[in-house]
Amino acid sequence: MKRPHVVFFDAVGTLFGVRGSVGQVYRDIARKHGVEVDATVIDRAFYETFKASPPCTFPGADVLEVPQLEQQWWNTIAQQTFDRAEVLNKFEDFSSFFSDLYLHFETAKPWMIYPDTIPTLQKLRSLNIPLGVLSNFDSRLYKVLRALDLADFFDSVTISTEVGVAKPDPKIFAIALAKHQCEPANAWHVGDSLQEDYQAAISAGLRGVLLDR
């Protein structure tokens, strides 16, 4: 197997995941705002909403506008999720709830690092192979990587909201590769999504590695 010049990793579901479930996190914070809802109901509503939503990308947007656009995008996801769960009207102040929810996900609290993550990154680092994150996450990812003590492993971070295009579009891979001045054939991409990581990487000319968790 040819030694890669760079290895890219997806973020959520690959390096780290939600502790418990999205529904449990949403439920716990909703409860603090006086709203009771079943976590399994929220999980189902969230994934239905997320799947039906457009990509979290803002092509042509000024870089200074991106954080606000990201927050607006997620506010819509949250509102539609609780609307599907039929409890949106129970919030006295949804904006206050959403602010707490949004800030919570930029801390280490809702996330767990998978047991194989750090040993894998340490091994690749010991071989002097540059590493990058290539994710459809938003700019909170920088804070999450720091909070989880993962940031120092990576030489580059490429996220969809900043570059205006999301996986599986090959353009996001090209942007990440350019940061390392690397040809696609010399790079690997590791991720947990068959379509957005494995198949997308192969289509972009990289070696795709599917991580089946």
What tokens appear for 196 in the block? Answer: 């957005």
Q: Could you tell me if 47 and 131 lie in one domain?
A: no
Q: Could you tell me if 97 and 161 lie in one domain?
A: no
What pLDDT is recorded for position 2? 85
Does some domain include residue 1? no
Q: Which domain holds residue 186?
A: 6-17+111-210
Provide the H-helix boundaries in 110-165.
Answer: 117-126, 141-147, 160-163
Q: Could you tell me if 72 and 119 lie in one domain?
A: no
pLDDT, averaged in runs of 10, over the chain (213 residues):
93 97 97 97 97 94 94 98 97 98 98 98 97 97 98 98 97 98 98 98 98 93
Q: Could you tell me if 36 and 10 lie in one domain?
A: no
Give the count of domains, the chain: 2
What is the model's pTM?
Answer: 0.94
Does some domain include residue 12? yes
Q: How many CB atoms lie within 10 A of CB 12?
A: 17
**Residue 172 to residue 134: CA distance in whole angstroms:** 8
What pLDDT is recorded for position 48? 97
Cβ contacts of residue 168 below 8 Å, gap of 6+?
A: 195, 196, 199, 200, 203
